[in-house]
Structure 1
Amino acid sequence: MNLLIVEDDALTAKQLLQLLRSEKYHCDHAAGYEEAKKLLDQNSYALVLLDWNLGDGDGLVLLKEMRDLELITPVMMLSANVEINDRVAVLDSGADDYLCKPYSSVELLARMRVLLRRDSNEKSSVIVVGNVTLDTTSREVFIEGSLINLTASEFDLFELFMKNPNQVLTRFQLSEHINKDNYSIKHSNLVDVHIKNLRKKLSQKEIIQNVRGIGYKLGKV
């Protein structure tokens, strides 16, 4: 996964590169506005980490130019500017996220994962896991080509499993995904009912597995 760091401070750039490379990301570094423009012309990136105040230019100007050129690469702006109007200006200019300096490495990595996951999901409406295909646009599920009729809530629940095939999802997470009412989230057994129905409709009892004391996860399909 190729990322671009646009940062004119040498120490900050070095620390960012070390952090991201330790997380197995491949990173290019631009020390300023002009170098960033060249790299963006030459390469495709999954995410751009963009400093606002660059030695030879303005990160906000670069962001606007990217969007004017219809570059849809996710951009996270990194800046010491903490005023709410600054944040609004950045987001209105096309940034996907804004993180104030100094920031926590843990928070930075978490926000990056959200943007990268969102970008990956938006690139394709079709999710395939084993012999199951889910289309987020048409809201259809197929097993080996056969259409499975699901209710809206069943589809929403199964979509969450398909987007997180290796993750254990708690009952609270699943309840929150299909019901925004706090009382229902805490006291309803709708998740268990929907999962029972999903297993029946998908004709695969092990497709959604219980994780004792925690919740459920997508099994082998």
Structure 2
Amino acid sequence: MHILIIDDNEELLFALRQLLNDAAYHVDIAETLRKGEISISQKKYDLILLDWMLPDGSGIDLLTRLRHEKMLTPILLFSSKKEVEEKVEALDCGADDYLEKPFSNIELLARIRALLRRESSQKQTHLVLGGLIIDFSSRSVLVENEPVKLSAKEFELLELLVLNANIVLTRYQISEHLSRDFDHLSASNIVDAHIKNLRKKLKADELIQTVRGVGYMISR
């Protein structure tokens, strides 16, 4: 799989290239929109990771142009913008996903795997697991066709487990994902409490499996 990263943060580019190479992806980088466009014109990519703010313009502008040209390559937009309106704008302009900085490596890899599994012409917006239906676009959940209200953290936890199905996630990895404050990660008992609440609301104790001494996983 070939991935293009368009971002001007040298430290982040170095870290992402190493992370993705270790995960067996082939990675190219571009520090400006212009360099990114040149790379896209010369090579077919399976996924593009695009920063919102770049030295020579907005990633949204490039995203809009690429979608206008009918390019279907999945695009994940990075941004430090926190408002819901910005996320909506990105998705409306054709982004397949949106990731707020700072983000954890485990979350990025999960989202990359999810995007690469999707058909470019028919994007997956929901997932069915038995009687559980998860709609990622509206962040809603149905259990046996009945809506279940999850807190933001509970939905993030469910999404993380589902996108990493069949992979055991440690309490530290889950805590890193939920906290986003890498200097003050939540204690493991907080993770356990979120898991307990999620199981109770979903009425599916067996869905989220405990791997003793390690963490949790969902099997599919």
TM over 0.5: yes
User: How far apart are residue 61 of structure 1 and its match?
Assistant: 0.3
Aligned residue in 2 for 1:128: none
Residue 144 of structure 2 is aligned to residue 181 of structure 1: yes
Runs of 4+ in structure 1 deviating by more than 6 angstroms, as ranges, are none
After TM superposition, the score normalised by the length of structure 2 is 0.58
Q: Secondary structure at the match of 1:112?
A: helix
Larger Rg: 1
1:1-48: CA deviation from partner (whole Å, max 9, x where unpaired)? 101100111111111101100100001101110000001111111110
Structure 2: runs of 5+ lacking an equivalent: 134-141, 147-201, 205-217
* Matching residue's letter, 2:105: S
Alignment of 1:91-106 (within 5 A): 91-106=91-106
Q: Secondary structure at the match of 2:66?
A: helix
Contact kept in structure 1, 2:73 and 2:120, CA below 8 Å: no
Percent sequence identity over matched residues? 40
Aligned CA RMSD, in angstroms, stands at: 3.0
**Alpha-carbon distance change, 216 to 41 in structure 1, aligned in 2, over 3 angstroms:** closer
Q: How many angstroms apart in 1 are the aligned matches of 2:22 and 2:78?
A: 20
* Matching residue's letter, 2:144: D
Aligned residue in 2 for 1:81: 81
After TM superposition, the score normalised by the length of structure 1 is 0.58
Structure 1: runs of 5+ lacking an equivalent: 124-159, 161-171, 188-214
Aligned residue in 1 for 2:115: 115
* Matching residue's letter, 2:114: V
Q: How many angstroms apart in 2 are the aligned matches of 1:176 and 1:40?
A: 39
1:68-101: CA deviation from partner (whole Å, max 9, x where unpaired)? 1100000000110111111111110000100000
Aligned residue in 1 for 2:59: 59
